[in-house]
């Protein structure tokens, strides 16, 4: 399913992430609501992405960003390190960056969560 900025897509993102971690027996809770990131260009406000934060396995936070403006933004999984979220592509080698998908589909979300598992297990650097 392609994710957009609408209530059905927000629900689908939550359900997709919940199902992924539920199948592994890990708790995963949405943390807060949907946040819209904007930019100002020539005095006009543009909605770039919406983001959802999740608390996974009672251990760490992840943030998933879905593009609203698909011309300039990509879907992205970020991992919390200290007080900041870091895109997963910054945490792996240049060779492994391409293993993360940037399309805004539920299939890409599941794929990226699996890549996060590989990273956390030390098999993806």
Summarised one tens digit per residue, pLDDT across range 66-125 is: 999 767 778 999 999 989 999 999 999 988 999 999 999 999 999 999 999 999 999 888
The three-state secondary structure class of 83 is coil
What is the length of the chain? 125
CA dihedral sign, ordered 28, 113, 89, 91: positive
| Max intra-chain CA distance, the chain | 48
> Which pTM does this prediction carry?
0.91
Write the pLDDT tens digit of every residue in 6-27: 999 999 999 999 999 999 999 9
Measured distance CA(58)–CA(77) in Å, rounded: 18
């Amino acid at each position: 399913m392609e994710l957009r900025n609408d209530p059905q897509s927000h629900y689908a993102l939550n359900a997709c992430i919940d199902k992924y971690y539920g199948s592994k027996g890990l708790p995963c809770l949405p943390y807060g609501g949907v946040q819209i990131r904007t930019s100002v260009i020539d005095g006009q406000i543009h909605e770039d992405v919406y983001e959802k934060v999740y608390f996974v396995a009672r251990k760490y936070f992840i943030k998933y960003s879905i593009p609203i403006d698909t011309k300039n933004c990509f879907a992205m999984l970020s991992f919390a390190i200290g007080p900041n979220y870091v895109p997963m592509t910054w945490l792996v080698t240049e060779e492994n960056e391409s293993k993360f998908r940037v399309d805004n589909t539920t299939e890409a979300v599941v794929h990226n969560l699996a890549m996060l598992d590989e990273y956390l297990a030390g098999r993806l650097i």
